Amino acid sequence: MAALVRAARAGDALAMDEVLTAVTPYVNRLCRPIALSDSEDAVQEALTAVFVGMRRLRDPQAFYGWVRTVTVREAVRVARRTAVERAVDPDEVARLRGLVGLGDGELSAQVRDVLARMPVHHRAVLVLRELEDLDERTAAEILGVAPGTVKSRLHRARSAFRKAWQQ
């Protein structure tokens, strides 16, 4: 992948096309639980940001980590543009990984409904911590907040997810 990214950065359109094929399912997977009904817009804006910014990427080996950062920020931005955020009541989310699924498939209607009732930033924290297995510090860097904020958001999001799921 690093070789393809290097070629793409140098203006090789065929390499760029292959990078696009490789990275689109991953960008989809990140955007869907965060941007929900706006995920199509989020995917397009995230991919645009990735391709416009690729020249500035210093280390092609770190490509997927960089894509994740760019994508989550874009997904949050797009979701917040249209979101009517409602606070949700408390409870758990150990099941989230299984519930959301790791493939490119649709989110189930129930999971979608539960996620839709969470603030965008809670959804983003869930994706980074539960699906991407990132530690608090890394998730905090991506979201531009303090690690303590990630911790408290994750706690509230897990609680909200468990409670909503049980209703």
Which residues of this chain interact with another protein, rule CB under 8 A? 8, 11-14, 16-17, 20, 24-25, 28, 32, 39-40, 43-44, 47-48, 51-52, 54, 104
Residue 54 or 127: which CB sits closer to another protein?
54
Residue 89 or 104: which CB sits closer to another protein?
104
Q: Minimum Å distance from CB 49 to another protein?
A: 9
Q: Minimum Å distance from CB 167 to another protein?
A: 28
Q: Minimum Å distance from CB 122 to another protein?
A: 23
Q: Minimum Å distance from CB 1 to another protein?
A: 16
Q: How far apart are CA 112 and CA 97, in angstroms?
A: 13
Residue 33 or 119: which CB sits closer to another protein?
33
CB contact at 8 A, 15 and 8: yes
Q: Per-residue DSSP letters for 67-131? A: HHHHHHHHHHHHHHHH-----------TTHHHHH-SSSSPPPHHHHHHHHTS-HHHHHHHIIIII
Residue 50 or 76: which CB sits closer to another protein?
50
Tell me the CA distances in angstroms from 56 to 16, 46, 69, one per residue in order. 15, 15, 14
